[in-house]
Every structure is written in C-alpha cells, then in structure tokens.
Structure 1
Amino acid sequence: MATSHQYYTLFLFFTLLFSYSLTTISVSATTKQKQRCHPSDYKVLMQIKKSLNNPYHLASWVPKTDCCEWYCLECDEKTNRVRALTIFSGEISGQIPDAIGDLPYLDNLEFRKLSNITGSIPRSITKLKKLKFVSISWLNLTGPVPDFLSELPNLEFLELNFNQFSGSIPPSFSKFTKLGALHLDRNKLTGSIPESFGHFTGTVPDLYLSHNQLTGTIPKSFGNMDFERIDLSRNKLVGDATLLFKPNGSTQILDISRNMLEFDFSKVMFPKKSLISLDINHNKIYGSIPKDIVKIQHLQMFNASYNRLCGVIPTGGDMARFDYSTYIHNNCLCGLPLKKCT
C-alpha cells in the first residue's frame, strides 16, 4: 500500500508535468504567432512607432509579439501582410512617418483626429500602389495639397479635410478613375477650381470643396459631369451655376451656398427623380423659383434665403415642409409661408 509520502511525490510529479505541458503549449503558440506577422512589416511598424515617439496609443505594439494582433492594424487573412493602418483620435505628436511607404500591401490608411500631427504627407505614400482608402483628416498638416497623390491609381476614397492645406487644388487629381469621393473641404485652399475636374474618366467622384477660399467661376467643363453629391459652399465663387443643374442627371445633394454666385434661378431645370437637398443661400441669385420645383419627388432640404429672388413661392409637392427661414431676405418673394402676394 502506498504511503502518504508516495502520494505526495506522485502529486508533485503530475503537477510539474502539467505545468511543463502548459508552458510548452504556450511557447509553441507564441512561436506560431510570431510567424504570422511578416518580418518586414514588423520592422516597419516598429519604425513607425518610434517615429511617433512611442505613444501610449500604440501600447499594444509590443516587441517580439504578433503584429497582426496589435491595435490600429489589420492583416490580410491569406497573406498575413498588413493591409490596414488606422490611427485614430489619440495623443500623438510628430509627423506622418516616411516608413508608411514600406508597407506594400496596405490598401487602407487612416490618420484621423490627431491635432498634434503636423508637417505634410510624405512622398513615400506613392509606393503604396494597392491603396484604396485614404483618410488623412482633422490633423494640422500645412503646405500645398500634394500633387503626387495622383500617382495612386487604385484610390476609391480620398479625404484630406480639416487640415491647414493652402495653395491651389492639384489639377492632376482628375486622373483618378476609380475615386468615389474627394474631400478637400475645410482647409485654406485658394485659386480656382481646376477645369480638369470636368474631365474625370471612369467614376465621377462626390466632390467636397467647401469652407475654403476658392475664387473664380465654376468651370464650364462641369457641364460634362454628373456629380451625385457636390458641395462648393463657403467659398468666394462668382458667376453662373446653372450648369450644375441637369434635368436628366443623378444629382442628390447640391450645395453652392455662401458664395457670390449670380444667375437667373428661373432658368434652372431640376433632376426631379434624384435631388434630395438643394442649398443656394447667401448668394446674388435673382429671378423666380421655378414652378417645376414642386415636381421634385424626394426634396428633403431646400434653402434659398439671402438672395435676390422675386415672385410667388410655388406650392405643392414637398414644398409645405419648408418654413419662412427657407425664403427670408430676398427682394420680393411672396406667398406661403411668407406674406400674401398683392
């Protein structure tokens, strides 16, 4: 019969054996994890972390661990290469590191809401030919919008808004053929809208240029483009904007408010099936409101205030949803919801 001492010896033996097995499994798993992160991607990511002064936001980027498990990153399931780098809303200072150009499989790049990031976009980004989505917004970047971004052939989304970019808009951006949206709004851009923006081939991007200091007229070439969403508001644009209204077009949102545009609104013809939002307030637009506006099928937002419009406000359709604020400060508009016509 086994003694208590023998039982204790057996218990200790199996305890040690179990612990050893767990350690072996853990080491094996860790080794396996290390192999998942591509060595060159790992090296580049550590350079990026160092360039950003090792911020707490990247605390999960621990040396000798699997980079595919780190925050702010995503690896492709098949290749295990880093495909997305999304650094968002953290206490990070410095500049966008040149090293991002050495992540060749990157298709999604996001630096957003990082107000202490300064400088400019590094040219090394042009090496990332797989890039589809770029959001570099709510930073403090300065200087001109980089012309070299047009060298990224597969871009489907480009967002550079809420920065301090100055100078003119690069005409070369019209070379994009797959771009679905271009956000250059809320910067300090000057000069005119490039004529080339009326010659996009392939996809016609939603165009957001508001809250800048753009001058001149709307390019005549825009008559060739059917923009679904276009926002040119809060600039210093002058002249005619009737070419943006296409009766057979697919425009959903059109905002030309707070400019110095001057044209006869009565000559406008609306895209009746698609238009849902039209803002023309704070311009020098004259004439009357076209009666055809009541035939727009899904008009949810309309603002014609602070212009030089006259005549009877059309009734019917969706017009009853708009109150007096839609029409105030015009020369001689009348009818509901304003005073009666005499």
Structure 2
Amino acid sequence: MRRFTRTLVAAALAATVVAGTAGWASGSSQQPVTGAPVGTDAWRAAGLPDPERMTSGQTAAYFRSLSPQRQRELAAAHPTVVGNLDGAPLALRYAANARSAGARFAGQQVLAYDPRGRGQAVLVFGDLARAAHVAVIVPGSDIDAGNLGPLSRKADALLAATGGRTAVVAWAGYTTPVGVGLDAATGDLAEAGAARLTRFTEGLTAVGAAEPSVFCHSYGSVVCGLAARGLKAKDLVVLGSPGMRADNAAALGTSARVWAAKDPTDWIDRVPFVEVAGLGHGTDPTAPEFGARVIDAGDALGHDGYFAPGTTSLRTFAAITEGVAR
C-alpha cells in the first residue's frame, strides 16, 4: 500500500513538474499542428501529386523528374507547399520559404515554415547540402516560430564549436508545450512531433544530406524517444531529459548511439522519473540502468546551459557531431 501511495504522489508531481524550458510556470493546453501543408488544396486542384500520399523518397523522385524551370514555377505558385515538402530540393525549399515567410526570417535559410497555431519553423546554419556532418537540435517547451532565439543560439554555439565544419538544423517543427503543465507531463504533443521529426530525417536522406546526430533538449527528448525507432540518425543525444518513454536504451529500438547529459544544477533532476497512467516519461536516461553513454555536464549551469560556450558538454556535442566521440 505504501508503494502504491508513493507512485500516486509521484504521478501527481509529474503532472505539474515535468520538463519544460520555462521553469516552474504553469502551462496551457496546446493542439498539435499536423497534416498536409497550408495550400495543399490548391496544389491538389492543380493536378499535382498529393503530399500526404508520397513518402519523402517519392517526393525527391518527383522533383528530380521536373526541369529546373518547372521546379521554380511550382515554388513560386505554391510556396507554402514546396517549402514544407520533406524530400524536395533544399535550395528550392529555401526559396519557397523566403517567399512565404516574407521578412520574418530575412537572410536566414528557412527549411520549413508553417504559420498555423503558434507557428513552426526549421532553420539551417551552415551548408546542409555539402556538410559531411549534420546536427539537428530538437527543443523543449515554449519554442515556436515567434520564439526561436534560444534554439538559434544553441545552433550557433554548436556550429562554432565544430569550427563551422558542420551544418546545424534548428528544428522547431512541432507544437511544443507552453510552460509546465499537463502537456509537458504527457506524450500527446510528443507523439505528433515524433511523426514530423521522423519524416524530416527521412527527407534529409532523400536529398542526400549526411545522416545527422540528433540533440534533444528537455521535452524534445520525449519527442526523440518516441521517434527513435524510425529516426534516420547516427547519434541520439538527450540533455536535461525528463525521460524518453522507454525503460532503457535498448527499448528505443534504434541503431543510433544513445547519449545522455544532465548537469547537477538542472531542476529537471527534481522531476519524478516515472510513467503512470500516461503521466511522466519514465526512466532517467542518465541512470546507469538506462544504458546510455553518459556525457560529463558538470560545468553546465541550469536547465538551459548545455550549449554554453566553453562547457565540456558543448565540446562533447561537437565531437559527437563530427564523429570523433567514443
């Protein structure tokens, strides 16, 4: 009976404390943005292939069958579709999103932009088409198209730590929780995000980009845990994680190397690492029984300090991205 009571208490705590980047603020319920890109009805009406019926590989093959002139015509006529099609040529997506996003991301390489809800965006730092090594950063709570600064700074820091030799993708491509509330304590938003992340990495493969190392912060690690089985990645790195909805690394079902970091000052350590009746996200990925490769994060500060310049964690992230960490 005492153990059952402790479990109920832990579950109640998980409902209010689990992973987010906004600290201890309460959260509000979010509806995930899913489905075909904005403008798909007009695309279909023009007799073009249904985006929801094509894999990323089929999308890539379709665009390869078109002349460069026809590709540009489609990007001009249907920018919100072309800009969000995983498997479409990278340069074409950048051009389409420059048109649909307007001045909002002036001068940046925007690989995806969806204005629905709070907005989603995917930014690229470096030359994704030619880089031998690629990193994708998946954020936690409160990141959206209107609040990309914290995620962009992480991407900038990782790019600098590799000496600019890589490409880094800031992937705000899912509906994140707002603050800390039931959304952050449950897996609904993560499930929707996992499907989008999986398709995104498939799209990278389809256009010939290097297989990425995927870095998953806070609630983003829940997304990555649920996506792991289908994720096209060589490394899966979680930091400040509330759990990955898996008992151990083997249960993730991935061939990627699994890494985990948690600094001693991170408030995430006060989260009960349980999963009961859909609340909480399970085992601490840095626990020995989980079986991940643990990254030294002793000089990172707080929940958001893992990418701080000069930290051991950032140096290790750079080594992982470049394939030299063991």
Larger Rg: 1 or 2? 1
TM-score, structure 1 normalization: 0.30
TM-score, structure 2 normalization: 0.31
More helix by percentage: 2
Of the two structures, which has the highest relative contact order with CA contacts closer than 8 Å and spacing of 6 or more? 2
